[in-house]
Amino acid sequence: MLRILIPIDGSPAAMAAVRHVLLLVGRGLRARCVLANVQAGANLYEMVVARDPGVLDRVAEEAGRDLIKPAQQLLGAAGVAVDVEVVHQGDVGPALLDLAERHGVDAIVVGAGAPGLADRVLGSVTLDLVQNARVPVTVVRVEG
Tell me which of 52-66, 102-116, 123-137 is least confident.
52-66
Average pLDDT over residues 117-138: 81
Looking at the DSSP bridge assignments, the partners of residue 3 are: 32
pLDDT score for 59: 76
Q: How confident is the model at residue 41 (pLDDT cuts 50, 70, 90)?
A: low
Of 3.40.50.300, 3.40.50.720, 3.40.50.620, 3.60.40.10, the CATH number of 2-141 is 3.40.50.620
Q: Identify the helix (H) or strand (E) that includes residue 25.
A: helix 12-26
pLDDT score for 53: 64
**CA 137/CA 127 separation, integer angstroms:** 10
Q: Please determine, for residue 118, whether its predicted confidence score (pLDDT) is greater than 50.
A: no
Sign of the dihedral defined by the CA atoms of residues 73, 85, 25, 144, in that order: positive
**Residue ranges of domains in the chain:** 2-141
Render 68-120 in DSSP notation, one character per residue: HHHHHHHHHHTT-EEEEEEE-SS-HHHHHHHHHHHHT-SEEEEEE--SGGGGT
What is the pTM assigned to this prediction? Answer: 0.87
pLDDT score for 58: 80
